[in-house]
Amino acid sequence: MNKTLMNKKKKIALIAHDNRKQDLLNWVKANEDELSKHEFFGTGTTSKLISENTKLEVHGFLSGPLGGDIQIGSHIVEGNIDILIFFWDPLQSQPHDPDVKALLRIAVLNDIPTSTNIASADFMLNSPLMNEEYQRVIIDYSSRLSRKG
């Protein structure tokens, strides 16, 4: 197992499917003061929407279907994202569903706290751990991988 330290100032990825963008924007606006203590990254339209409608700066990546989810996943693997807040639409198929699944798998493999709805985002943001250093434990899954692949 590897341990990775999250600083008090968290690096948070913000992503939302089209039908959930307004929900995420409303959540960010309602929590802007608390969120302003952290650093933000986001995919395409979501990052632009939040940057234009709040005082938060969001480092933007490509749109999710054009590779933005993969870019966020890459930053998680590189240790540049601490938290994933992804308001996804569970009732609509997305053209980039395989990328979404890969992103969520990478988040789990790297012990990244992940929120997929307003309630879990509220619990995460209001956790006493949110503004403290935190030691993530990353399990070494390599021994579980098949040698055939």
| pLDDT tens digits for range 30-79 | 999 999 999 999 999 999 999 999 999 999 999 988 889 999 999 999 99
The answer to the question of residue 137 being in a domain is no
- Give the model's pLDDT for residue 141: 83
Confidence of residue 145 (pLDDT cuts 50, 70, 90): confident
What CATH number corresponds to the domain at position 45? 3.40.50.1380
Domain count, the chain: 1
- Give the model's pLDDT for residue 95: 67
* Selected catalytic residue, list 18, 23, 33, 69: 69
- Backbone phi, then psi, for 123, in 5-degree steps? -60, -45
Is 69 part of the annotated catalytic residue set? yes
Provide the domain limits for residue 26.
8-125
The answer to the question of residue 142 being in a domain is no
| pLDDT tens digits for range 85-127 | 999 887 777 767 778 899 999 999 999 999 999 999 999 999 9
- Backbone phi, then psi, for 6, in 5-degree steps? -90, 135
